[in-house]
Structure 1
């Protein structure tokens, strides 16, 4: 009997509320998701902040690279004029192990602090390694995490080629492959799963795509509308 496909909220539940905000994360939890995916960047004062873009322009009233601002400066800006930019620490504390947390290392030099926060919450706050996935397109960031702590479950993001992702995944003992739905086929899902990898796909939002991904027997679907899965 096949295991049910996990429902993972993309940047919280960004189809309903502003991405990567506490409100969006709260909404995803209200939907009873199995997991939440977020993105992290390192800001100028060293903290990891939860934000997708490398620049502030699309989502806030400010302009410029997020890495050039301190946390105190970033806290003066608002996403969509309404929501604070959260830190990774705030998000992990808020989720409090209610679901899986997929941390995408979006920005540079994010591996070290991500591993520290994960380890802290495992050592002192009841989390387990299986409650986390760390994913990235940036191979060097995943390699850094692997060198720091080989127990952290890793996932290789790809929007180009599943076979290439598998090739890299072998070098870091990755747990999963995270392919874009545009490159997902029944055959490459089976190939990855036969090799022992979980296949968690993104971003499936319409019903037909969700049904097709389930038919391909993927392990998880990452969606802006996790309530549709």
Structure 2
């Protein structure tokens, strides 16, 4: 028994020594790359973004929502994009139109003209349970071009939703870059996706000219580096992390994690934050961006406390 205990302690000591040696070795040879700050992030923070235009107040991703959010002085909009059958980029979240319109079917199987015939205010209910936007011309689908041209003073956080393995997903990074380049809006857009491969594809076109968000893999790698003590081993490829406060019971809102990312010039944004006290707590910890369904709540917070 004593021999087993001695062997186990020896193994633990050797393992600890190896890990310690690895830490020292990598600390000497590794130096994390600190991001240059893109023009997109050179405005006064914190940024307040209306999630899908402020989907708690009006039909998501429609002019009705964007217009209403604008009245509450948001800095910009967090939006999603998909590609239509005729290769137009529309501002839309779901793969199907069923949840938010009076129609049915996949966005990628419909032309822009077909999508324009649908009522995207059909299912929206206000606090009283009524449908104030049914039949409204302000509750129609929008193209990304229309959004960028209609709100020239807003920052736009663009999330690519189409699966990279689909036909539309394979095309949309290049189509998106060409549109941004044509409109000359490089300094007021951020491009991100849950798919790291979509961000990488877009980056092939954009280079370092446009701000990028982090996909799930990069966020995971950063947190592992932070939690394990090997922070010096992680070099970010993104300019911002757009993350929830918690993921699978892992707290991503620790001040230490925020400070670590900030030391690399990575802005930290949190979604979807709909309570005033939580917004305030995250901002106090150093959050750069708050994404909310309710821009009226964030408006009151900024007026009262900032």
TM-score by length of 1: 0.88
Deviation for aligned residue 1:164: 2.3
Deviation for aligned residue 1:201: 1.1
Separation in 2, partners of 1:5, 1:69: 38
**Relative to 1, partners in 2 of residues 1:161 and 1:176: Cα closer, same or farther, differing over 3 Å?**
closer
**Relative to 1, partners in 2 of residues 1:139 and 1:162: Cα closer, same or farther, differing over 3 Å?**
closer
Q: Deviations over 1:31-86 (max 9, x none)?
A: 11111111100011000111111111110111221111111111111113231111
Partner in structure 1 of residue 67 of structure 2: 26
Decide which structure has greater strand share: 1
Partner in structure 2 of residue 210 of structure 1: 279
Residue of 230, 250, 262 corresponding to 1:193: 262
**Relative to 1, partners in 2 of residues 1:143 and 1:162: Cα closer, same or farther, differing over 3 Å?**
closer
Partner in structure 2 of residue 118 of structure 1: 180
After the TM superposition, which segments of 4 or more aligned residues of structure 1 sit over 6 Å from their partners? none
Partner in structure 2 of residue 99 of structure 1: 154
Matched, 1:86 2:142: yes
Separation in 2, partners of 1:224, 1:41: 20
> Which stretch of structure 1 is more off in the superposition, 101-110 or 33-42?
101-110
SS at match of 2:213: strand
Partner in structure 2 of residue 181 of structure 1: 245
Separation in 2, partners of 1:27, 1:156: 29
What is the Cα-based RMSD across aligned positions, in Å? Answer: 2.0
Work out whether residues 196 and 215 of structure 2, in 8 Å CA contact, stay in contact via their aligned partners in 1.
no
Residue of 78, 93, 109 corresponding to 1:52: 93
Residue of 148, 152, 155 corresponding to 2:213: 155
Deviation for aligned residue 1:161: 8.0
Deviation for aligned residue 1:226: 2.1
Work out whether residues 157 and 165 of structure 1, in 8 Å CA contact, stay in contact via their aligned partners in 2.
no
Residue of 51, 63, 82 corresponding to 1:41: 82
Deviation for aligned residue 1:227: 2.7
Separation in 2, partners of 1:140, 1:197: 19
**Relative to 1, partners in 2 of residues 1:192 and 1:163: Cα closer, same or farther, differing over 3 Å?**
farther
Q: Deviations over 1:179-226 (max 9, x none)?
A: 112232222111111122011111110112111111211111011112
Q: Deviations over 1:75-131 (max 9, x none)?
A: 1111132311111111111112x1211111112232111111111111xxxx4x221
Matched, 1:226 2:281: no
Residues matched between the structures, number: 218
**Relative to 1, partners in 2 of residues 1:140 and 1:162: Cα closer, same or farther, differing over 3 Å?**
closer
Work out whether residues 37 and 101 of structure 1, in 8 Å CA contact, stay in contact via their aligned partners in 2.
yes
Decide which structure has greater helix share: 2
Residue of 199, 209, 222 corresponding to 1:142: 199
Q: Which runs of 5+ in 2 are unaligned?
A: 1-43, 123-133, 163-168, 226-233, 247-251, 299-306
Separation in 2, partners of 1:32, 1:49: 24
Separation in 2, partners of 1:49, 1:111: 13
**Relative to 1, partners in 2 of residues 1:211 and 1:161: Cα closer, same or farther, differing over 3 Å?**
farther
